[in-house]
Structure 1
């Protein structure tokens, strides 16, 4: 079975980016094609869906520590690979952690991926603020939200992993009831 995922940011997505992210814990792509102004990415079917789907369906009060450990272990392995190759994910949350029928955990949600390597030079800090909806704010690190002259780096992904761990443990994301202007 195949699942199609749309990525709309054609300016920042290249075949080179897709090839650089081949790892067992990063969502693989069977084929990529464009139709009009849309980039279509065909990927394997993930039988258990996302960790968020599992929370909503089977674990509304949160998952066990052992299950959280297994899910985050796979996600962090994929994230570590991305970081080693100079990428910041910038969109880690339970809905972007997918689980296959055989239990393989894959990190998805690569539409806000940022490469620290530009023209052969690796940046230490990012000043770019991605186009997020306000629903993503609880997962974003304070340094990313600040948008100041200090910028942010790969450590912002680690903050998002921590928030995701809380989400998996409690069944909901911290600060979800807080007004978005106060997050």
Structure 2
């Protein structure tokens, strides 16, 4: 059980300060649990944000799944709402892309992450909900699992006791680059839970390439490309040649881009991974596999004898840049190292638990 008294929580680190929302790491002195506390101000004159907050709390209270970020407790003190979540020691996948895996996650780690994400989506879809904003920012990792967070954009098929065949409405503008074309269409045909599968494909490219999808692309062009069926692809040796111009040169002028694409040209991602992404990004929603079927894809064979904990330990030389680990305390070292990254990046990264 968690207390509703603010005095029972010791705030140890600030991840984010915002006008509406601030995020902290805290210790609960009642049960000695490490938590993430999100503090929302009720004094901010933004009814839309408040409605989204209360809708998310209501939605998450209905879910109970190991791969969905739990709300452990919520309470109001003065003019602030405090929402408690479990502490995920590695933070968001977006944070790791910016601090550790700058050229993309290793394929096996991506498979381990999406095995958990799809388990969460299967549960959500079976309960007649759509998540609505699957992206690296909303996937959290600790030593044992990945969890899906942020249900601000989630919608239910159930309305007035009846199930609707499709949903309508568009995601927040911050998440449009990950949205399926049928969501962007905003027509009478609406969209279904397959829109989340499309977002999985976009996020897979984001994690593998280390590049935010449609980065610096105008929204109109992004929408046009999606409608035409042109989508991001996994960048490796097999797709690198497609990026060359007629003279066999890279169509990028700055040195950073040339260096980055030279890295991509040397790596090989499996055919199963390429096929997995192609299935997710099919323009026709009916041809995309369900979360349940995707979990049987050959892409996940590499997960059979691996875990997120084991795989991150293999990468500990990258994670532990300060050599603070000791042989008997691997996880503590990784957590401390990542906390250092979080401290350095907290002004730039939007922590979204």
Structure 1 distance, partners of 2:169, 2:78, is 27
The answer to whether residue 35 in structure 2 is matched with residue 2 in structure 1 is yes
Residue 81 of structure 1 pairs with residue 119 of structure 2: no
Q: Distance in 2 between matches of 1:129 and 1:160?
A: 14
Structure 2 residue 134 is the aligned partner of structure 1 residue 114: no
Shift of 1:119: 2.0
Could you tell me which of 136, 139, 142 is aligned with 1:94? Answer: 136
Contact 1:61–1:171 (8 Å) recurs in 2:
yes
1:18, CA displacement in angstroms? 2.8
Structure 1 residues 115-174: Cα deviation after superposition (integer angstroms, max 9, x where no partner):
1111221111011224x13x3221011010110111111010000000000000100123
Q: Tell me whether 1:167 sits opposite 2:210 in the alignment.
A: no
Residue of 179, 189, 196 corresponding to 1:157: 196
Q: How many positions carry a matched residue from both structures?
A: 179
Distance, in Å, in 1 between the alignment partners of 2:170 and 2:219 is 17
Higher relative CO (Cα under 8 Å, sequence separation at least 6) belongs to: 1
Q: After TM superposition, where is structure 1 displaced by more than 6 Å over at least 4 residues in a row?
A: none
- The CA RMSD over aligned residues, in Å, is 1.9
- How far apart in 1 are the matches of 2:94 and 2:53? 27
Q: Partners of 2:127 and 2:92 in 1: how far apart? A: 25
The answer to whether structure 1 residue 25 and structure 2 residue 35 are counterparts is no
3-state SS of paired residue (1:43): strand
Tell me which protein shows more helix as a share of its residues: 2
In structure 1, distance between residues paired with 2:96 and 2:153: 24
Instruction: Return the alpha-carbon distance in structure 1 between the equivalents of residues 80 and 220 of structure 2.
Output: 32
Pick the structure with greater CA Rg: 2
The answer to whether the Cα contact below 8 Å between 1:141 and 1:156 also exists between their aligned partners in 2 is yes
Question: How has the CA–CA distance of structure 1 residues 45 and 118 changed in structure 2, closer, same or farther, with 3 Å as cutoff?
Answer: same
Q: TM-score, normalised by structure 2?
A: 0.48
Give 3-state SS (helix, strand or coil) of 2:71's partner: coil
- Residue 177 of structure 2 contacts residue 213 of structure 2 at CA under 8 Å; is this kept in 1? yes
Which of 41, 63, 66 is the matching residue for 2:105?
63
Q: In structure 1, list runs of 5 or more residues that go unmatched.
A: none
Q: CA deviation at 1:20?
A: 2.1
Q: Determine the C-alpha separation between the residues in 2 that align with 1:13 and 1:55.
A: 26
